[in-house]
């Protein structure tokens, strides 16, 4: 379990920035891969994984609807 990634969805936190999302994706990939910084021969696949996780996170946050709020959490 990755305990140090904070919740990014409103209203738990203010709107997550692209930097917040990328930082969470990086933490996830580091944990899953077991590498804090990959070797040169793994850099491309590592960076691709961070990009993919960040994109999936953004898609998730864009699609979430939070009960009790006047609108969804969707971002442009």
45 falls within a domain: yes
Q: What is the pLDDT of residue 5?
A: 73
Q: What is the pLDDT of residue 18?
A: 92
Q: pLDDT-derived band of residue 64, with 50, 70 and 90 as boundaries? A: confident
Burial 28-58 (b: 16+ CB within 10 A, else e): bbbeeeeeeebeeeeeeebeebbeebbeebb
Note the pLDDT tens digit of each residue in 12-61: 667 888 999 999 999 999 999 999 999 999 999 999 999 999 999 999 98
The structural domain count of the chain equals: 1
Residue 6, domain member (yes or no): no
Q: Is 28 a domain residue? A: yes
In this prediction, residue 72 carries a pLDDT of: 47
d(CA 63, CA 6) in angstroms, rounded, equals: 18
Say yes or no to pLDDT of 74 above 80. no
Residue 55 lies in a domain: yes
Q: Is residue 27 part of a domain?
A: yes
Whether residue 58 lies inside any domain: the answer is yes
């Amino acid at each position: 379990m990755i305990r140090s990634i904070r919740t990014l969805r409103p209203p738990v936190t203010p709107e997550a920035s692209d930097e917040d999302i990328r930082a969470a994706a990086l933490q996830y990939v580091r944990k899953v891969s077991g590498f804090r910084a990959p070797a040169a021969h793994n850099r491309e696949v590592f960076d691709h994984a961070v990009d993919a996780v960040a994109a999936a996170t953004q898609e998730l946050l864009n699609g979430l609807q939070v009960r009790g709020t006047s609108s969804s959490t969707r971002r442009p």
